[in-house]
Amino acid sequence: MISAAGIKVYSYLNITAVADFFMEIKLGGHGKVTLRGYLARMPDIRRLQEEAVRITVQEDGDNREQVLFRGIIQSVHTFVENGVCQVMCPAAGFPWKQESRS
């Protein structure tokens, strides 16, 4: 099981914490991610068109990060709720291939 506390998002958005995260990956297809996160500040939306994103997870008791997703942000919706800046953004990944074992 992966907890939201262990998920880190690397992008221009500067997401400080993940609130909701949904990932769909199908063999031979593009992975899809939709996430809602908290922002340190409101970003310049014009800069985000086709911005790259990398999402990693750190398991409890382990300092290493494992990459969950790499892709391109498709759209960005920012809003303020109870004085907290938030973002919702879907992203499309690169085609996923099952690794062959020798």
List, for residues 6-43, the tens digit of each pLDDT value: 889 998 888 999 999 999 987 777 889 999 999 988 87
Write down the pLDDT at residue 101: 43
Q: How far is CA 59 from CA 28, 63, 85, 88, in A?
A: 27, 8, 27, 24
In angstroms, what is the C-alpha Rg of the chain?
14
pLDDT tens figures, 59-75: 766 778 888 899 999 88
Using 50, 70 and 90 to split pLDDT, how confident is the model at 49? low
